[in-house]
Amino acid sequence: MYDYTIIDSDTALDSLLASWREQGVDEIAMDFEGEFNLHIYGEHLCLIQIYDRNNFYLIDPFKISEEALKRLLEAPDIIKLMFDCASDSALVRKEFGIKLAAVYDVRVPALALGFSGNLTGLIDRCLEDRNGRKRQDGTSSKNAKKKNQMTNWLVRPLKEDQILYALSDVEYLFDVKEHLEAEIKGTKLEKVVASAMKVVALPKGPDKPGWTKVCNWKFLSREQQVYLKHFFIARDTLARQRNVPAVRILDKRILVDMAHHVPTTEAEFRSKAANRDKRIEDKLVDLLLQARQDALTELSGIDKKTGS
């Protein structure tokens, strides 16, 4: 088991930042755990785990203000070692408006060297290549990984296996970085990696609405896309109101099917929206009927603009 400190107040977090600066600590290993529509509606930052080469920390974002989180995550003088920071960066940007800064993403040099696997594989690769070392925490077990990736990070107190899982992902990031930098040193990859690192935490474009991420979206006709958009919004509106994962309201596959074969009557919508809770079913049917009308209105406006 790791020795770690829980940071659960603005004062504690600001004191930690101040102590790092006083001690000349300018680089930390960092990872997030979040809720992604598994137990409640939406995406939520649930935990920040940190290792500063000497100590481990668990930051509880439920007890920290957005301003204090911003002081840490946007700090330009504290380099944050991470693995594949894109989703973490998007999470805090969407939830708090925080622009993750000063990130060194070890996945960038790994990709440059031809490694495209996950963090567990990268750690195993780097540590086995360095003096025959192997990680000893046992987290390479696929079953253990899957279990904790699907765990409920919203619940407190955290369980021991959750803490082990969370901290194991930051323990080796310094080793991984040093190993990868040694591999690319003196090669043309150095400049490639340095250039990519400058923008690694930035969005690659505007955040896309959820309905455009539904499988086969780009293969739908214009009309089908409009219907899917409004059915998706109806489904998510109810999920947000009930604070439940959207899939519990209606599966995306049903949304796509309705976009292909648009129901026209209340009975047809009810057959799609069937739910054990009749209150949910009734509300969803009402929302889907309105969504169909909204889609027809949008399509009519498009036709007028195009003259078709």
Q: What is the pLDDT of residues 195-211, one digit of tens each?
A: 999 999 999 888 899 99
SS3 for 28? strand
Lateral strand order in the sheet of 27-36: 4-7, 56-59, 43-51, 27-36, 79-82, 103-105
Q: In this predicted model, what pLDDT tens digit does every residue of 24-71 receive, in sequence order? A: 999 999 999 999 999 999 999 999 999 999 999 999 999 999 999 999
Rounded average pLDDT over 123-132: 74
Residue 141 pLDDT level (bands cut at 50, 70, 90): very low
Short-list 202, 180, 197, CA closest to 86: 202
Answering whether pTM is above 0.85, one says yes
> Which pLDDT band holds residue 132 (cuts at 50, 70, 90)?
very low
**Which residue reads 């309105």 in tokens?**
290
Express as a percent the part of the chain with pLDDT over 70. Answer: 91
Domains delineated in the chain: 4-197 (3.30.420.10), 210-299 (1.10.150)
* Least confident interval from 94-103, 123-132, 237-246: 123-132
Cα–Cα distance measured from residue 270 to residue 282, given in angstroms and rounded to the nearest whole number: 8
Q: How many CB atoms lie within 10 A of CB 291?
A: 23
**Which long-range contacts (C-beta less than 8 Å, at least 24 apart) are formed by 144-147?**
145/120
Tokens for 250, please give them.
Answer: 């209606």
Segment 99-112, tens digit of pLDDT: 999 999 999 999 99
